[in-house]
Amino acid sequence: MMLLRPGRRRSAYAVVALLALLLIGPTACGSDAPAATGTREIVVSIAGGTVSPAPARIEVSRGQNVRITTTSDVADMVHVHGYDLAVTLRPGVAGTIDFVADRDGLFEVETHGQELQLFQLVVR
């Protein structure tokens, strides 16, 4: 076994750690797709049974943070299908759902009480 002086021992450990990160780092994420940056904020309001803005498809990148904020004039629940996330709405009080869009696909976001489609979330 070769003995290294203290200063060189640290350098050798640093090289081994760097090589380990380079070799296993890319696969540790579980995805070849680069992580998206920033948070996509989606704001929806419901008044008199009307969704504003009108329901549409909203695209986000896989790995992107998503924040859905919904305000309703009646008590209800907002649900993101496929992610099984929900928030209870009280009249006039904003409800927020935060998550990472880590699954590709088309996901319905709707209310349960009024059965309104708020939008379709497309993750690519």
- Domain range annotation of the chain: 1-30, 39-123
Report the pLDDT value the prediction gives residue 98, as an integer from 0 to 100: 98
Mean pLDDT of successive 10-residue stretches along the chain, which has 124 residues: 52 41 36 62 98 98 98 98 97 98 98 97 98
Query: Which H/E stretch holds residue 89?
Result: strand 85-89
The reported pLDDT for the residue numbered 3 is 53
Say what the pLDDT of residue 18 is.
35
Q: Is the full-model pTM beyond 0.85?
A: no
Cα-based distances in Å from 71 to 26, 52, 67, 116, 120: 40, 10, 13, 13, 17
What the block records as the tokens of 43 is: 């704001």
Quote the pLDDT of residue 22.
Answer: 35
Architecture of domain 39-123: Sandwich (2.60)
Residue type, 100: V
